[in-house]
Amino acid sequence: MRLRGWRRAAFAAVAVTALVGGVAPAYGQPVEPAPQVRTYLITGPDLVNHPEKVTETLKRDGNLDALGIKPDPDNAARSIPRTAETEDPGYTVDSAEFDGGRKPQDPYRYIDYAQCQGNNSAPTQIGWIKNRFSYCQRHLFVITYDDVSTGLVSTATIRATIIGYGKIGPQPGSATTRYADFDFTAEVLEPNGIFLDPRSDMEITIECAGRYRRDIDLDDDDACYPNDDLESHEKSFIGWELDPVARYQLLSDGQRPDPRWGEQIAQGVFHFEYEFDFPGPNTPASKKTWEGGLRFDSADYLWDKQGSIFDRAVPGIGYSKTDQKIARHAKFVDESRANPSASWPAKAGKKLLGGSPLHADSFHRVARAKGHDLIIEQNRRVKDRACGAAGMPAPLPDETAPYDCDEYGYATTYEGAAGWRDPGGIIDPNKYKDEFAVRWVNRDHNQEAGRRLNAFYETHRLLDVDRWNPQWNKELDPNDQERFWVPITP
């Protein structure tokens, strides 16, 4: 938009000069009335999936009043604020993807066009997030052009599909720049009138506003911004109809990954803007799409030091009760959560977390490589005491030796056996005493489940956001977006 802003400024200067210089229309010369341009942004899945309902209504009426849809106001705000109370949807990654604790062959599992289309089943402005690397948003953008002087109304409907691709590693050719790619497909459906004029243009631009969660000696303008070469695409409506796909890229600057800079989190909100140019005396105001959320990070303790993710969904690692490598762990978690008070150590009213993506029911990673050995070791000491205590139940009859004393919640979380679920748990060690479960489980199943959990952390870029230090946590993760959950699947 830097160049586009310059163009607008230059145009304004020329216009002023022309008026001052005396080339304005002569007194009494009739002024051609400006046409009325109206736009509509529609996210309801029924109409997005069946745009013919819109195009038929437009052709008949020249507006969408019959569908109960009113035109957009000028400069309509389409921001979706983030709050600490926002309950984002969860998604599940099968733990089998991390077999043996290895990085998956395809860590991204990107959305394709058909998947994006098939998951447009509920009205959601923020889009559908398949996983942290895959974002999709679909909408209809409708525009009408009412030529007041002739009474003719031209219409066009654009069905837009936006697919975002988070990335592992830095932008090619750079050691410190993080990036994310986007495909924007703009299907121009049944244009007529002025929209068939090759001089009628539609420009689609990506915009991003970002900020660093902590100071890393860079300006917030560098936290999220478009790649100049992949920022904007302008074509005639006919051109978009013939070639509907355009590619975009967002960038975020960072320092080289190093413990002294921490996670280098840059939080961004992005949207696309439509602008139009028609033959004649008008240029309508720009129109924005709904915002999406994006996070860039550079964390020295992750396998892949730099990356980008879509941060408005909660990742979950799914353990299957029929997976022959971890089934015993899955059974232990499932039965313990179904009846927490019956799990060991015994405690009436015990609550075991991780069964949903809600804030109050999720886990937060502790990274040993970040230097948080104390939390992990204390979790394990408390767990070991429970495993060796009088009354510890014997292995279940269907369990096979050799055994490990398996624990849930996990030692590598702030919600592990030591009870540091929140600052209150740090101050009062008894606040969450015995809010965990242990059981004798087949050793291979227990250890494989642990290896997969670690690979899940690393691949899906789960960060340790210092929950034992409230001020640091507030800086790094004010909206609690770094939580995860543990669905148990059949």
**DSSP labels for 106-164?**
SS-----HHHHHHT--S--TT-EEEETTEEEEEEEEEEEEEETTTTEEEEEEEEEEEEE
Residue with tokens 């691949």: 459
For residue 1, the model assigns a pLDDT of 32
For residue 35, the model assigns a pLDDT of 86
Task: Tell me if residue 254 falls in helix, strand or coil.
Answer: coil
Strands 488-489 vs 314-320: parallel, antiparallel or unpaired? parallel
Phi, psi torsion values for 466, nearest 5 degrees: 60, 55
For residue 356, the model assigns a pLDDT of 97
Token readout for 402 is 């050799």
pLDDT bin (cut points 50, 70, 90) of residue 8 is very low
For residue 2, the model assigns a pLDDT of 36
For the CA atoms of 109, 110, 116, 120, the dihedral, rounded to the nearest 10 degrees, stands at 60
For residue 124, the model assigns a pLDDT of 65
Token readout for 183 is 């495909």
Residue with tokens 């697919």: 163
For residue 73, the model assigns a pLDDT of 83
CA 226, chain centre distance (Å): 17
Per-residue pLDDT of 115-152, as tens digits, reads: 998 886 655 677 899 999 999 999 999 999 998 888 89
For residue 30, the model assigns a pLDDT of 59
Q: How many residues does the chain have?
A: 490
Task: Tell me if residue 247 falls in helix, strand or coil.
Answer: strand
pTM of the complete model beyond 0.95: no
Average pLDDT over residues 8-31: 38
- Does the structure show a pLDDT above 70 at 281? no
Contact of 347 with 341, CB cutoff 8 Å? yes
- Does the structure show a pLDDT above 70 at 294? yes
Burial (CB count within 10 angstroms: exposed 0-12, middle 13-18, buried 19+), residue 122: exposed
Percent of the chain whose pLDDT exceeds 70:
91
List beta partners, residue 411.
none
- Does the structure show a pLDDT above 60 at 15? no
Per-residue pLDDT of 62-105, as tens digits, reads: 889 999 999 988 767 788 887 778 899 999 999 999 999 999 99
Token readout for 161 is 């599909």
